[in-house]
Amino acid sequence: MTRLEKKERFTSGHRACGGCGLALGARLAMKAVDDNSIATCATGCLEVTSSPYPQSSWKIPWLHSLFENSAAVAGGVEAALRAKGKQDINVVAQGGDGGTVDIGMRSLSGMLERGHDVAYICYDNEAYMNTGIQRSGSTPMNASTTTSPAGEESFGNENRKKNALKIAAAHNIPYVASASVAYPDDLIEKVKKANEINGPTYVQIHTPCPTGWGHEGDITVKLARLAVETGLWVLYEREEGEIKDVKKIKDRKPVEEYLKPQKRFKHLFKKEGGEERIQEIQEIADSNAEKFHLDEE
């Protein structure tokens, strides 16, 4: 069997938009779990598009939680299995960025801190997509969303993207990793590892959203790759507190290449003052490059 195994546990027939990075991310992540797994899923695009009653895209037992408590529900499932002596079943919790880094942060923190044997997967499409593209704590700076619209006075979201990977790591858990739908082998390896490790683990997958980001569905993977190649989304693992396996970049690309095809950033190329805002974003990429030693000699 190749690493990209044929078996699907998140199947076609779901209602996600064409080119949805989240659906691709879930499909790849579910290749990495085994059949002996139970998944929870917060309210959001993933849940809504994959489970219209009486249909389901899930081939493993799957529970829909509230928007805010996927981690708490998964922790409860894991504790119940432990009490029954069933320790051969993997528990996977899933949530969008809103359901993870904002409203679900409390239940995620509790689950990580209590030490449940749960792998948490955050599908990061950088806004509340399911309810109409509202900004989240994971929305990047200067992106236009329906609650941070660019206009005459505004360049869109004013805040920097929250670093949820660092917050997860602050719980001293054994494994934290970032992944991208543009690097499927890497993504699968990381989710597999997160599942195999005993204790709480956290994987955040960058998943472009054609509808919310305003790009064509056929460039989803290209855009996800550009996020990595510009240094805006860094691929790495943190094991037992140590940063490892950072994906180095050869000839890092300017951030414009990533921003330009997306309508959520189009004001940066039209409005007076846009160049400075693009420079701000470039500085974020440069600072990532410095911190993680991204540039390949």
Ligand X SMILES: Cc1ncc(C[n+]2csc(CCOP(=O)(O)OP(=O)(O)O)c2C)c(N)n1
Quick one: what does residue 155 bind among ligand SF4, Mg ion, ligand X, none, with the CB cut-off 5 to 8 Å set by partner type?
none
**Window contacting ligand X (CB under 6 A); options: 80-88, 121-129, 245-253, 279-287:** 121-129
Backbone conformation region of residue 86, classed left if phi is above 0, alpha if psi is from -120 to 50, else beta: beta
SS (H, E, C) 120-163: EEEEECCCECCCCCECCCCCCCCCCECCECECCCCECCCCCCCC
- Of 22, 41, 150, 194, the one binding ligand X by CB under 6 A: 22
| Burial status of residue 284 (CB atoms within 10 A of its CB: 0-12, 13-18, 19 or more) | middle
State which residue, 43 or 148, has the beta carbon closest to ligand X.
43
Strand partners, 119: 92, 201
Report helix angle 105-114 to 70-83, nearest 10: 30
State which residue, 70 or 90, has the beta carbon closest to ligand X.
70
Q: How far is the CB of 182 from ligand X (least distance, A)?
A: 18
- Of 29, 45, 92, 177, the one binding ligand SF4 by CB under 6 A: 45
Examine residue 131 and tell whether it contacts ligand X (CB under 6 A): yes
State which residue, 21 or 75, has the beta carbon closest to ligand X.
21
- Of 25, 76, 137, 210, the one binding ligand SF4 by CB under 6 A: 210
| Burial status of residue 179 (CB atoms within 10 A of its CB: 0-12, 13-18, 19 or more) | buried
Examine residue 143 and tell whether it contacts ligand X (CB under 6 A): no
Q: How far is the CB of 71 from ligand X (least distance, A)?
A: 12
Examine residue 209 and tell whether it contacts ligand SF4 (CB under 6 A): yes
d(CA 170, CA 275): 35
Counting DSSP H helices and E strands in the chain, the numbers are 11, 8
Q: Hey, which residues between 46 and 105 contact ligand X (CB under 6 A)?
A: 46, 67-68, 95-99
What token pair was written down for 249? Answer: 């970049």
φ/ψ (deg, to 5) at 64: -85, 120
Examine residue 51 and tell whether it contacts ligand SF4 (CB under 6 A): no
- Of 44, 137, 208, 210, the one binding ligand X by CB under 6 A: 44
CB 22 within 8 A of CB 208: no
Using CB under 6 A as the criterion, which residues of the chain lie in contact with ligand X when the complex forms?
22, 43-46, 67-68, 95-99, 123, 125, 128-131, 136
Using CB under 6 A as the criterion, which residues of the chain lie in contact with ligand SF4 when the complex forms?
16-17, 20, 22, 45, 49, 125, 129, 209-212
